[in-house]
Chain A
Amino acid sequence: AQKITQTQPGMFVQEKEAVTLDCTYDTSDPSYGLFWYKQPSSGEMIFLIYQGSYDQQNATEGRYSLNFQKARKSANLVISASQLGDSAMYFCAMREGQFKETSGSRLTFGEGTQLTVNP
């Protein structure tokens, strides 16, 4: 069963506007971590933001914030004030067993959302 679902294959946003990229997940483990990565056309994977399942506050990193709704099992990425350089593929990922000492700490990725920022 797919554990990470990104339902938006492509999204378009005007420069300087905010955009929300959706991510839902499925796990029975009470401890998990959620990640967002950006992959520009150059191909590298850039870590953006992290949310732990026990974190009380939604994560924020500069223009990135994570709208974490635990009961709904969603972890949407919000990018404020979009820039042309934000055009890229965005991946949501999950690691189960946030506090486990042993590894088995694989990241499971969603299928990605291609974001295009228009001038």
Chain B
Amino acid sequence: DTAVSQTPKYLVTQMGNDKSIKCEQNLGHDTMYWYKQDSKKFLKIMFSYNNKELIINETVPNRFSPKSPDKAHLNLHINSLELGDSAVYFCASSQVPKQRGGYTFGSGTRLTVV
């Protein structure tokens, strides 16, 4: 069973389109995240939700809107896609602070905007 699953794995779309990436975790974690990995492999947090409540909202264009229908799901909707949005988007979850270990990441969604 996949702990954190993201769909789709690959997404190729044209500029101006609207797209969504879905994430689900079956670990019972309270907190979920979206990270963006740019072309230089740098990972940066975008959003974090704790029990469906938005708690981290980095400086991200408001074309990006996360939605958490329940604590096991965190989706990312992107409006009016731009070339610069091309990146790998990772969903992650954690149970802080009880979990001494790491955050569990999904396998990533490679978004290509053409």
Given contacts A47-B101, A50-B102, A112-B41, contact A105 B31 (CB under 8 A): yes
Which of the candidate stretches B17-25, B62-70, B88-96 sits at the interface with the other chain? B88-96
Contact A111 B108 (CB under 8 A): no
Report chain A residues within 8 Å CB of B41: 39, 89, 111-112
The minimal Cβ–Cβ distance linking B7 to chain A, given in whole angstroms, is 15
Contact B90 A45 (CB under 8 A): yes
Contact B31 A47 (CB under 8 A): no
Q: How far is the CA of A91 from the CA of B50 in the complex (A)?
A: 24
B27 interface residue (CB < 8 Å to A): no
Smallest CB-CB separation from B100: which chain A residue?
Answer: A50
The minimal Cβ–Cβ distance linking A78 to chain B, given in whole angstroms, is 18
| Best-buried of A37, A101, A109 by chain B (most CB within 10 Å) | A109
Contact A104 B55 (CB under 8 A): yes
Report chain B residues within 8 Å CB of A106: 33, 45, 48, 56
A44 interface residue (CB < 8 Å to B): yes
Report chain B residues within 8 Å CB of A103: 30-31, 48, 50, 55-56, 96
Q: Total A-B pairs in contact (CB under 8 Å)?
A: 72
> How does the 8 Å CB contact mask read for A97-113 relative to B, with 1 for contact and 0 for none?
11111111111110110
The minimal Cβ–Cβ distance linking B14 to chain A, given in whole angstroms, is 23
Contact A91 B43 (CB under 8 A): yes
Q: How far is the CA of A112 from the CA of B38 in the complex (A)?
A: 12
Interface residues of B in 24-56 (CB under 8 A from A): 30-31, 33, 35, 40-45, 48, 50, 55-56
Contact B97 A101 (CB under 8 A): yes
> How does the 8 Å CB contact mask read for A6-42 relative to B, with 1 for contact and 0 for none?
0000000000000000000000000001010101000
Q: How far is the CA of A111 from the CA of B38 in the complex (A)?
A: 11
Q: How far is the CA of A43 from the CA of B10 in the complex (A)?
A: 12
Smallest CB-CB separation from A100: which chain B residue?
Answer: B97
12 more contacts with CB within 8 A, not counting A44-B107, A47-B102, A103-B30, are: A35-B102, A35-B103, A45-B105, A50-B100, A97-B97, A101-B97, A103-B31, A103-B48, A104-B55, A105-B48, A105-B94, A107-B45
